[in-house]
Structure 1
Amino acid sequence: MKKHISITILIILAWAGSAQSQSNITVTRNEAQVDFPQSVTFQLELADASDVAEVNLIYEVDRVSCLEANTAVPIELDGNEAEWTWEMVRSGNPPPGATLRWAWQITDRSGNVTTTPEQSHTFVDDRFAWQTVSAPNIRLHWYEGDEVGQVLLDAAVAGLDQLQNEMGITLDSEVQLFIYEESADMRDAVLYIQDWAGGVAFGNYNIILIGVPPRIAESWGVPTVRHELAHLVIGQFGRSCVGGSRPTWLNEGLAVYAEGEPSETVQSDIANGIEDNSFEPVRSLNGAFSAHGPEAGIAYSQSYSVVKFLLETYGQEQMQSLLLTLAAGEGYDEALEAVYGFNVDGLEQAWRQSLNLPAREIPPTPTAVSAQAIPTIEPFGLPESVPTEPAAAATAVPPTTTTNPAGGICNLTVFPLLLVGFGLVVRRRK
């Protein structure tokens, strides 16, 4: 059973008793009781409902959408009162930081409509005493560790600077990050999230939640914040309502590139791939990465290498053009042909040549890979297998770091779940 947070919002309207309507409808109470993340109960009370023919609740949550997102719910009056509950267990819940807006439309028997002023509430996980640091277009909230907030904000700013300077991509709307001390605390704020998830990115809300224990804020938190923020920023740049998507190697390669200097793991993967000539065909990285940890991690490193080749060889303007061409709905091969003059196979041959690797034998008819669905919520994995500090003893043996059993799997798949889609994103520990 999920823990949840109970909040009651009582709005005593200043204009109660003087609602502007030809039918003299007077609102005496307008409440929203928020039991986050389980439900919101909207309540309306009128001074006199004898002339009321119809009551509708209009509500929406601020987010990026290609369609009108507000919902109109007809409510039956019970005397002078109307009440309706939004059960989030049916739809999934918006994240902390998201803003709910609502108003009531009241129609009298003559057809006159009174619409109450719009009210709003920002969902809050009030179990914790949040602190906030900010930079242009970034707000980062945390509650544990004196230095955690500034360390991770600096990481986010550095990631944005790299995206702008090396890719020419800027953030066009504010992003919020909520840093929990433990992943379990983060999971209690989100319905329908996997038990292993260490964080979740709500792309349509521009909100990221991550569990970052303060002791690994530098080693794990910094690259993870930069990586996941890059997904949101690049997603904003190439946001599309026509169904366009990016191949996984491009999506993840750009995010790893945004982490900054490649980790020792990434460098080792690339060096081993060159030495053994063991890289996978780039076309095989168009879709989901392997479910096996080591193979998935190598796919990340290879994707980084391919993206680095494109940026350093052809520059940021053509990378921007590729992202926008894909967003317009072009296929992966067609987009690459239009921007660079080669398809996925031609890209592979050019990239391999830059690494002094022999050309790969390409089948005459490449297998098409269909575009993946774009998930609404992307949970990503825990900083697993961080060793326990050894006891202070002369004979203590240094702990052995093991790998995250879930590996490094971003966008592995999409699980349809009621109105919410989940795409796995597991960040392997550096």
Structure 2
Amino acid sequence: MVRTAITVLFVGWLFGGAETAWTQSSITVTRNEAQVDFPQSVTFQLEVADAGDVAEVNLVYEVDRASCLEANTAVPIPLDGNEAEWTWEMVRSGNPPPGATLRWSWQITDSSGNVTTTDEQSHTFVDERFEWQTVTAPNIRLHWYEGDQVGPILLDAAVAGLDQLQNEMGITLDNEVQLFIYGESDDMRDAVLYIQEWAGGVAFSDYNIILIGVPPRIAESWGVPTVRHELAHLVIGEFGRSCVGGSRPTWLNEGLAVYAEGEPSETVQSDIANGIENNSFEPVRSLNGAFSAHGPEAGIAYSQSYSVVKFLLETYGQEQMQSLLLTLAEGEGYDEALEAVYGFNVDGLEQEWRQSLNLPARDIPPTPTAVSAQAIPTIEPFGLPESVPTEPAAAATAVPPTPTGNPTGGICNLTVFPVLLVGFGLVTRRRK
């Protein structure tokens, strides 16, 4: 994989340029650059005309992302003559996705304690291996490089998905989403450090950025529903974002995403028909956490989740669904949130849903075992940059710490199926 280091003075045409400026004072800055080797590293470089009166230099940087805390990463850098240099080794911390914007400035303290802060610089990360094309719609920017019609086809899918979220769920997208459509999953994986070899896509919810590998030959059959599915995760995640540790059960997350795809596929319809005929659905409570790792069982779980979500929306409407998402975001448990909004817990939901399908009531134990979202083995980018102060003792090797709490990015459990089947020239609409 060939990568070229660049400076912020020549940011890629796809995202626009960055101006170079600094504050004029008794300390004169003659160079302020960042050499970017994406996705491996960023080397920040500062040069002053005269370092004789410089007592301390700190680099302050952050990556634009949704966060519950406003904080920067500050790294003290020793001067070497009249120059300071520090490298953010993303191979140690994990890298932000293409399309994310890095911002930084320098704080220079003189011997009298006066602080000079340079003007903020910015750089938007670009995967320069490809000649990207871009199509846009309100709040959507989609980039692709392979297949003349791939971009327009998938942009239409994203717009249709947003329309359905707004019209049928009352959920709107407030901030722009960027989608990067790679021609192959291998190309996509090379843009993200520390991602599983079988991953076919990744959604960075805190950055509102989605990366998906979509070969042109399956853009319509697999790419269209996948774009709508993953976009729904970002939009719903933005709507129900939590700063208090709230989470959503897996059946709700995936059921809403499958619902956002539009008309259910033949596979989904067949799964539901078979579940009704054989009375073979899993307990809804068992779908609070991780879905099965086995292909057929996992696919059926997605179909069942869609059916449950469809029942809630069609029976109780969009306002109650919005209320449920917001109540969960406040940190309420799954049973408590359902009780507050609908008047029944997870087991009561199952009985109501089964009755709507003319299925017999399920025999449910009086004290069910709670299943929390923490049990879900999600696949997510490791070590996304987080803006927190850096201790001086760690300055020489400082890297942003790994985030904790809610996952900031991830891909759905079944990515393995489309990726593997694409390799054999087949197409599937099992969710990722």
Provide closer, same or farther for how the CA distance between residues 419 and 235 of structure 1 changes in structure 2, counting only shifts above 3 A.
farther
Q: How big is each residue's C-alpha offset from its partner over 1:338-394, in whole Å with a ceiling of 9 and x where there is no partner?
A: 000000000000000000000000101111112328999747999999999999999
Q: How big is each residue's C-alpha offset from its partner over 1:179-204, in whole Å with a ceiling of 9 and x where there is no partner?
A: 00011111111100111111111111
Using the TM superposition, give the Cα deviation of residue 405 of structure 1 relative to its aligned residue in structure 2, in angstroms. 25
> 2:257 & 2:65 partners in 1: Cα distance?
23
Using the TM superposition, give the Cα deviation of residue 409 of structure 1 relative to its aligned residue in structure 2, in angstroms. 8.7
> 2:161 & 2:186 partners in 1: Cα distance?
27
> 1:221 & 1:391 partners in 2: Cα distance?
48
Contact 1:61–1:69, Cα closer than 8 Å, also in 2: no
Tell me the SS of whatever aligns to 2:396.
coil
Using the TM superposition, give the Cα deviation of residue 400 of structure 1 relative to its aligned residue in structure 2, in angstroms. 43
Contact 1:199–1:210, Cα closer than 8 Å, also in 2: yes
Paired residue for 2:151? 149
Tell me the SS of whatever aligns to 2:257.
helix
Runs of 4 or more, structure 1, over 4 Å off, are 373-377, 379-409, 411-427
Provide closer, same or farther for how the CA distance between residues 217 and 141 of structure 1 changes in structure 2, counting only shifts above 3 A.
same
> 2:351 & 2:140 partners in 1: Cα distance?
39
Q: How big is each residue's C-alpha offset from its partner over 1:2-46, in whole Å with a ceiling of 9 and x where there is no partner?
A: xx453333489x55xxxxx79610001111000100000000000
Higher strand residue share: 1
Contact 1:376–1:420, Cα closer than 8 Å, also in 2: no
Contact 1:380–1:424, Cα closer than 8 Å, also in 2: no
Using the TM superposition, give the Cα deviation of residue 327 of structure 1 relative to its aligned residue in structure 2, in angstroms. 0.4
RMSD: 12.6
After TM superposition, the score normalised by the length of structure 2 is: 0.85
1:358 aligns to 2:360 (yes or no) = yes
Contact 2:183–2:216, Cα closer than 8 Å, also in 1: yes
Provide closer, same or farther for how the CA distance between residues 108 and 388 of structure 1 changes in structure 2, counting only shifts above 3 A.
closer
Contact 2:222–2:428, Cα closer than 8 Å, also in 1: no
Provide closer, same or farther for how the CA distance between residues 49 and 303 of structure 1 changes in structure 2, counting only shifts above 3 A.
same
Could you tell me which of 272, 280, 283 is aligned with 1:281? Answer: 283
Could you tell me which of 340, 343, 358 is aligned with 1:341? Answer: 343
Contact 1:96–1:123, Cα closer than 8 Å, also in 2: yes
Provide closer, same or farther for how the CA distance between residues 72 and 11 of structure 1 changes in structure 2, counting only shifts above 3 A.
farther
Unaligned runs of 5+ in 1: 16-20
Q: How big is each residue's C-alpha offset from its partner over 1:220-244, in whole Å with a ceiling of 9 and x where there is no partner?
A: 0000000000000000000010000
Using the TM superposition, give the Cα deviation of residue 90 of structure 1 relative to its aligned residue in structure 2, in angstroms. 1.3
Contact 1:414–1:421, Cα closer than 8 Å, also in 2: no
Contact 2:205–2:408, Cα closer than 8 Å, also in 1: no
> 1:132 & 1:85 partners in 2: Cα distance?
31
Using the TM superposition, give the Cα deviation of residue 207 of structure 1 relative to its aligned residue in structure 2, in angstroms. 0.2
Contact 2:201–2:415, Cα closer than 8 Å, also in 1: no
Contact 1:408–1:428, Cα closer than 8 Å, also in 2: no
Tell me the SS of whatever aligns to 1:393.
helix
Tell me the SS of whatever aligns to 2:242.
coil
Provide closer, same or farther for how the CA distance between residues 353 and 222 of structure 1 changes in structure 2, counting only shifts above 3 A.
same
Q: How big is each residue's C-alpha offset from its partner over 1:90-116, in whole Å with a ceiling of 9 and x where there is no partner?
A: 110000000000000000000111000
Provide closer, same or farther for how the CA distance between residues 395 and 6 of structure 1 changes in structure 2, counting only shifts above 3 A.
closer
> 1:281 & 1:298 partners in 2: Cα distance?
12
> 1:6 & 1:393 partners in 2: Cα distance?
23
Q: How big is each residue's C-alpha offset from its partner over 1:146-205, in whole Å with a ceiling of 9 and x where there is no partner?
A: 111010000000000000000000001110000000111111111001111111111110
Contact 2:77–2:86, Cα closer than 8 Å, also in 1: yes
Provide closer, same or farther for how the CA distance between residues 233 and 424 of structure 1 changes in structure 2, counting only shifts above 3 A.
farther
Paired residue for 1:159? 161
Unaligned runs of 5+ in 2: 12-20
Contact 2:28–2:50, Cα closer than 8 Å, also in 1: yes
Contact 2:289–2:373, Cα closer than 8 Å, also in 1: yes
Using the TM superposition, give the Cα deviation of residue 48 of structure 1 relative to its aligned residue in structure 2, in angstroms. 0.1
Q: How big is each residue's C-alpha offset from its partner over 1:309-334, in whole Å with a ceiling of 9 and x where there is no partner?
A: 00000000000000000000000000
Provide closer, same or farther for how the CA distance between residues 424 and 283 of structure 1 changes in structure 2, counting only shifts above 3 A.
farther
Contact 2:290–2:375, Cα closer than 8 Å, also in 1: no
Q: How big is each residue's C-alpha offset from its partner over 1:59-117, in whole Å with a ceiling of 9 and x where there is no partner?
A: 00000111234200000000100000000011100000000000000000001110000
Provide closer, same or farther for how the CA distance between residues 388 and 263 of structure 1 changes in structure 2, counting only shifts above 3 A.
farther
> 1:407 & 1:52 partners in 2: Cα distance?
41
Tell me the SS of whatever aligns to 1:426.
coil
Using the TM superposition, give the Cα deviation of residue 427 of structure 1 relative to its aligned residue in structure 2, in angstroms. 7.2
Provide closer, same or farther for how the CA distance between residues 401 and 297 of structure 1 changes in structure 2, counting only shifts above 3 A.
farther
Provide closer, same or farther for how the CA distance between residues 380 and 316 of structure 1 changes in structure 2, counting only shifts above 3 A.
farther
Tell me the SS of whatever aligns to 1:200.
strand
> 1:259 & 1:124 partners in 2: Cα distance?
29
> 1:154 & 1:238 partners in 2: Cα distance?
25
Contact 2:194–2:382, Cα closer than 8 Å, also in 1: no
Provide closer, same or farther for how the CA distance between residues 337 and 393 of structure 1 changes in structure 2, counting only shifts above 3 A.
closer
Provide closer, same or farther for how the CA distance between residues 328 and 424 of structure 1 changes in structure 2, counting only shifts above 3 A.
farther
> 1:82 & 1:179 partners in 2: Cα distance?
38
> 1:420 & 1:56 partners in 2: Cα distance?
49
- What is the percent sequence identity of the aligned residues? 91
Structure 1 range deviating more: 386-395 or 206-215: 386-395
Provide closer, same or farther for how the CA distance between residues 205 and 351 of structure 1 changes in structure 2, counting only shifts above 3 A.
same
Using the TM superposition, give the Cα deviation of residue 206 of structure 1 relative to its aligned residue in structure 2, in angstroms. 0.4
Provide closer, same or farther for how the CA distance between residues 427 and 28 of structure 1 changes in structure 2, counting only shifts above 3 A.
farther
Structure 1 range deviating more: 138-147 or 364-373: 364-373
Contact 2:222–2:429, Cα closer than 8 Å, also in 1: no
Contact 1:415–1:422, Cα closer than 8 Å, also in 2: no
Provide closer, same or farther for how the CA distance between residues 348 and 388 of structure 1 changes in structure 2, counting only shifts above 3 A.
farther
Paired residue for 2:141? 139
Provide closer, same or farther for how the CA distance between residues 316 and 398 of structure 1 changes in structure 2, counting only shifts above 3 A.
closer
> 1:65 & 1:190 partners in 2: Cα distance?
21
Q: Structure 2 matches for 1:91-170, cutoff 5 A?
A: 91-170=93-172
> 1:395 & 1:236 partners in 2: Cα distance?
33
Structure 1 range deviating more: 134-143 or 364-373: 364-373
Provide closer, same or farther for how the CA distance between residues 86 and 317 of structure 1 changes in structure 2, counting only shifts above 3 A.
same
> 2:394 & 2:55 partners in 1: Cα distance?
75
